[in-house]
Amino acid sequence: MTQWEERDSDSRPEIGRPRPTPPELMTARQLVDAYREARTDEDRAYALDEAESFLFTVGDDVGADVLVTFFAVPSREETGPLFDLIEGCLAGHMPAKMGRVLRVVAEGESPAPDNALAFLAALPASLLVRSLIAVLAGQDEDRVKGIAADLLLGSGDEAAVQVFDALDDREVRRWIGDASGCPEDASDAELMRCFAARSAYR
**Is residue 134 domain-shared with residue 106, that is, in the same domain?**
no
Closest to 130 in 3D by CA, of 85, 95, 101, 167: 95
Specify whether the CB–CB gap between 131 and 155 falls below 8 A: no
Q: What element of type H or E holds 57?
A: helix 41-58
pLDDT digits (tens, 9 = 90+) for 18-34: 678 889 999 999 999 99
Between 4 and 117, the higher pLDDT residue: 117
- Domain range enclosing 63: 1-123
Phi, psi torsion values for 74, nearest 5 degrees: -60, 140
**Is residue 149 domain-shared with residue 105, that is, in the same domain?**
no
**Is residue 81 domain-shared with residue 114, that is, in the same domain?**
yes
Domain boundary among 123, 147, 170: 123
In the prediction, which pLDDT does 3 show? 37
**Is residue 98 domain-shared with residue 175, that is, in the same domain?**
no
Between 201 and 139, the higher pLDDT residue: 139
Assess whether pLDDT exceeds 80 at residue 155. Answer: yes
Considering only 9-13, 60-64, 115-119, 131-135, which range has the smallest mean pLDDT?
A: 9-13
**Is residue 96 domain-shared with residue 135, that is, in the same domain?**
no
Alpha-carbon distance of 32 to 22, in angstroms, equals: 16
**Is residue 88 domain-shared with residue 171, that is, in the same domain?**
no
**Is residue 83 domain-shared with residue 157, that is, in the same domain?**
no
**Is residue 75 domain-shared with residue 145, that is, in the same domain?**
no
In the prediction, which pLDDT does 107 show? 93
Assess whether pLDDT exceeds 80 at residue 14. Answer: no
The average confidence (pLDDT) of the chain is 89
Q: What element of type H or E holds 50?
A: helix 41-58
Quickly list DSSP for 65-108.
HHHHHGGGS---GGGHHHHHHHHHHHHTTTTTTHHHHHHHHHHP
Considering only 56-65, 108-117, 128-137, which range has the smallest mean pLDDT?
A: 56-65
In the prediction, which pLDDT does 18 show? 66
In the prediction, which pLDDT does 91 show? 94
- Average pLDDT value for residue range 38-44: 96
Between 27 and 183, the higher pLDDT residue: 27
For the chain, percent of residues with pLDDT exceeding 70: 90
Exposed / middle / buried, residue 108 (Cβ in 10 Å: 0-12, 13-18, 19+): middle
Give the confidence band of 202 by pLDDT, cuts at 50, 70, 90. low
Give the total number of structural domains in the chain.
2
**Is residue 47 domain-shared with residue 115, that is, in the same domain?**
yes
pTM score, whole prediction: 0.85
**Is residue 133 domain-shared with residue 105, that is, in the same domain?**
no
